Structure 1
Amino acid sequence: MLEQFWATAPTSYKVLVFSAMGLIAIGLVLSIVGNTSGNQGLAMASLPVIGAGLLLHVTGLVVRGQKIRKSYKK
């Protein structure tokens, strides 16, 4: 089912998923660099980036749930 959903998923869902993964990855890199270099400002700045990625991830789950719910009603 997962392969079928990805093949038929709306573009908005795919954009949300890749944007979420990108923001989380950037946030993690910023956090690691900030903590290893002792730059607490950079480490703290990474938290909102990770949070934005998580919000996009949840939004993607909502979009996917709506799509699946609509397909069951048909």
Structure 2
Amino acid sequence: MLNEFWATAPTSYKVTVFSAMGLIAVGIILNLVGNTSGNQGLAMASLPLIGLGLVLHVVGMVVRGQSIRKNLRR
């Protein structure tokens, strides 16, 4: 079932997962650049991006759970 889920996953789940991964990645890169260059403002600005990525990750888990429950009821 795990291999089948990605192939049959709703588009909303895929978009949410990739958005979450992208925001977390951008946030981590900005944080690293900000901390290595001593730019504290950039490092602090990256934290909301990481937080939003984590929230989207949780939303993706909810969407996946609803999709699985819907498929099991059939």
TM-score, with structure 1 as normaliser: 0.97
5+ unaligned residues in a row in structure 1: which ranges? none
The aligned runs of 1:58-73 (5 Å cut-off) are: 58-73=58-73
**3-state SS in 1 of match to 2:58:** helix
Match of 2:55 in 1: 55
5+ unaligned residues in a row in structure 2: which ranges? none
Match of 1:41 in 2: 41
How many Å separate the matches in 1 of 2:6 and 2:50?
Answer: 24
The aligned runs of 1:18-29 (5 Å cut-off) are: 18-29=18-29
CA RMSD of aligned residues (A): 0.5
How many Å separate the matches in 2 of 1:30 and 1:5?
Answer: 32
Which residue type is aligned with residue 37 of structure 1?
A: S
How many residues of Structure 1 are paired with residues of Structure 2 in the alignment? 74
How many Å separate the matches in 2 of 1:30 and 1:2?
Answer: 33
Structure 1 segments, 4+ long, off by >4 Å, are none
How far apart are residue 2 of structure 1 and its match?
1.6
**3-state SS in 1 of match to 2:36:** helix
Which residue type is aligned with residue 4 of structure 1?
A: E
